[in-house]
């Protein structure tokens, strides 16, 4: 296809986690624009584009996601996609998950289990990720070690605790992800 | 191959909201080419030329096509165009493919960062880190 030399290149980071943990809030806190919303149709059996002939039948679901952008330089834009919390079908949105730089899993200490699926997903797809514990619902009384144990987190996965409404915290979470990516063997090659 | 809807009898069922977007694409449910991702960046061609260097004239464009050309005067990702049109991503991709096929829109593929292909390179990661530090 005709390529454009003047357009910036793009990379994406996925922001996942359970229902209502603060994904959209984090995207909005670091994005240079108010979070935008888009949606896609997914067929539950198979999500290949070829299979969309089945559209209009009952095996199709709509998955919506919020996203924001950070212009890193005139040549590079980072898109942040907040994946739908209660919706397990985003896992099948191949275009969404393929080629992601990495992921952020947001968790709430009162219901850590709602973020298990996101952790499992990133691990299974070999997408590097960091965990952000969001405290906007009140004070967190658990230590990082307790949370790590409860999430059964690999020791090398960064874990940060803070308030996702605050841009400095969102920035630190994303920086922790980039540092984590830089520490991985494949990136060093 | 490409299924067409019977426009006389729009389907109305539980997923009835899906019917209208595909009338915009004249029933096509898949783009000609599947080389757009959510973050493929699109830019309206400044002076579109055909393969012989002759200036292109936009063919019969639908309002949605014109909105895309307008939007992409400043580079925008597929997801941004879809959000702006309030259309699903798959429908938007069909319209984008029409315009790229006519040479009216230029596309830039995302950078390859998949772990399977060695991950992002250090230069890219350093650029992202520097950009984030300025937040
Ligand atoms: N206590 C408190 N709650 C908040 C605050 N800001 C947002 N919320 C609530 O937290 C919930 C989740 O915030 P979101 O950022 O939308 O979370 P999300 O993960 O995107 O949610 P889903 O997309 O629905 O899964 C919402 O129901 C908000 O009402 C806040 O400042 N304090
Ligand atoms: Mg949300």
What residue spans define the domains of chain A?
A: 9-183
Chain A residue numbers with beta carbons less than 8 Å from the beta carbon of B41 are: 4, 7-10, 77
Instruction: Give the residue-averaged pLDDT of A66-74.
Output: 95
pLDDT value of residue A159: 98
pLDDT above 70: residue A14: yes
pLDDT above 70: residue A96: yes
Could you tell me what percent of chain A has a pLDDT over 70? 85
- Specify whether the backbone of A108 is left (phi greater than 0), alpha (psi in -120 to 50) or beta: beta
Could you tell me what percent of chain A has a pLDDT over 90? 65
Q: What rounded mean pLDDT belongs to chain A? A: 87
Assign B12 a pLDDT band (cuts: 50, 70, 90). very low
Atom of ligand 1 nearest to the CA of A137: 1
pLDDT value of residue A47: 45
Say which range, A30-39, A54-63, A155-164, B106-115, has the weakest mean pLDDT.
A54-63
DSSP for B77-123? Answer: EHHHHHHHHT--HHHHHHHHHHHHHTTSEEEEPPPP--GGGT-S-HH
Alpha carbons within 13 A on the beta-carbon side of A162 = 18
pLDDT value of residue A189: 42
Is the Cβ pair A58, B14 closer than 8 Å? yes
pLDDT value of residue A157: 97
pLDDT above 70: residue A132: yes
Assign A5 a pLDDT band (cuts: 50, 70, 90). low
Chain B residue numbers with beta carbons less than 8 Å from the beta carbon of A4 are: 41-43, 75, 106-108
Is the Cβ pair A126, B127 closer than 8 Å? no
pLDDT value of residue B61: 83
Say which range, A150-164, B18-32, B62-76, B77-91, has the weakest mean pLDDT.
B18-32
User: Domains of chain B: which residue ranges?
Assistant: 11-133
The pTM for the full model equals: 0.85
Q: How far is the CA of A47 from the centre of ligand 1 (A)?
A: 29
Q: Which residues pair with B48 in a beta bridge?
A: none
Query: Which of these CATH numbers, 1.20.1090.10, 3.40.800.20, 3.40.50.720, 3.40.50.300, describes A9-183?
Result: 3.40.50.300
Ligand 1 in reach of A165 Cβ (< 6 A):
yes
Instruction: Give the residue-averaged pLDDT of A37-41.
Output: 93
A180 Cα distance to chain centroid:
15
How far apart CA A153 and CA A156 sit, in angstroms, is 8
Say which range, A28-32, A68-72, A157-161, B23-27, has the weakest mean pLDDT.
B23-27
Could you tell me what percent of chain B has a pLDDT over 70? 74
Ligand 1 in reach of A22 Cβ (< 6 A):
yes
How far apart CA A114 and CA A54 sit, in angstroms, is 31
pLDDT value of residue B30: 64
Q: Tokens 């212009």 sit at which residue?
A: A71
B1 in contact with A at a CB cutoff of 8 Å? no
| Residue among A24, A139, A164 whose CB has most ligand 1 atoms within 8 A, to mutate | A24
More confident residue, B69 or A186: B69
A189 Cα distance to chain centroid:
25
Strands B105-108 and B41-44: antiparallel
More confident residue, B12 or B103: B103
pLDDT above 90: residue A136: no
Instruction: Give the residue-averaged pLDDT of B87-100.
Output: 94
Q: Which residues pair with A17 in a beta bridge?
A: A106
Most B CBs within 10 A among A187, A188, A189, hence the mutation to make, goes to A187
More confident residue, A63 or A54: A63
How far apart CA A119 and CA A152 sit, in angstroms, is 10
Return the number of CB contacts < 8 Å for A and B: 187
Q: What rounded mean pLDDT belongs to chain B? A: 80
pLDDT above 50: residue A46: no
More confident residue, A69 or B25: A69
Residue B9 CB-density burial (10 A; 0-12 exposed, 13-18 middle, 19+ buried)? exposed
Is the Cβ pair A7, B110 closer than 8 Å? no
Closest C-alpha to A2, from B49, B73, B79, B105: B105
CA angle B86, A84, A144 (to 5 degrees): 145
B35 in contact with A at a CB cutoff of 8 Å? yes
How far apart CA B22 and CA B29 sit, in angstroms, is 7
pLDDT value of residue B6: 39
- Collapse the DSSP code of A89 into the 3-class scheme (helix H, G, I; strand E, B; otherwise coil) and give the result: helix
Q: DSSP letter for B49, please.
A: B
């Amino acid at each position: 296809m005709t390529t454009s030399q003047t357009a910036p290149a793009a990379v994406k980071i996925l922001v996942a986690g359970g229902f209502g943990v603060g994904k959209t809030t984090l995207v909005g806190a670091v994005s240079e624009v108010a979070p935008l919303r888009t949606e896609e149709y997914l067929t539950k059996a198979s999500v290949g584009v070829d299979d969309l002939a089945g559209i209009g039948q009952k095996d199709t679901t709509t998955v919506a996601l919020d996203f924001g952008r950070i212009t890193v330089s005139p040549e590079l834009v980072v898109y942040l996609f907040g994946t739908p919390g209660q919706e397990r079908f985003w896992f099948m949105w191949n275009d969404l998950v393929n080629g992601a730089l990495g992921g952020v899993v947001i968790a709430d200490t009162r219901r850590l289990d709602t973020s298990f699926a996101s952790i499992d997903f990133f691990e299974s797809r070999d997408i590097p990720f960091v965990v952000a514990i969001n405290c906007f619902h009140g004070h967190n009384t658990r230590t990082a070690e307790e949370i790590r144990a409860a999430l059964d987190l690999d020791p090398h996965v960064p874990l940060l605790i803070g308030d996702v409404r605050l841009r400095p915290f969102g920035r630190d979470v994303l920086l922790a992800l980039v540092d984590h990516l830089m520490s991985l063997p494949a990136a060093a090659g | 191959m490409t299924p067409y809807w019977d426009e006389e009898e729009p389907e109305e069922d539980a997923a009835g909201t899906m019917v209208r977007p595909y009338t915009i694409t004249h029933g096509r449910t898949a783009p000609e080419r599947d080389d757009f991702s959510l973050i493929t960046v699109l830019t309206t061609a400044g002076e579109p030329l055909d393969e012989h260097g002759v200036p292109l004239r936009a063919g019969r464009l639908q309002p949605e096509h014109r909105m895309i050309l307008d939007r992409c005067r400043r580079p925008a990702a597929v997801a941004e165009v879809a959000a702006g049109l309030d259309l699903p991503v798959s429908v938007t991709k069909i319209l984008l493919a029409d315009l790229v096929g006519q040479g009216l829109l230029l596309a830039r593929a995302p950078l390859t960062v998949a772990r399977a292909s060695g991950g992002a390179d250090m230069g890219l990661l350093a650029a992202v880190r520097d950009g984030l530090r300025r937040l």
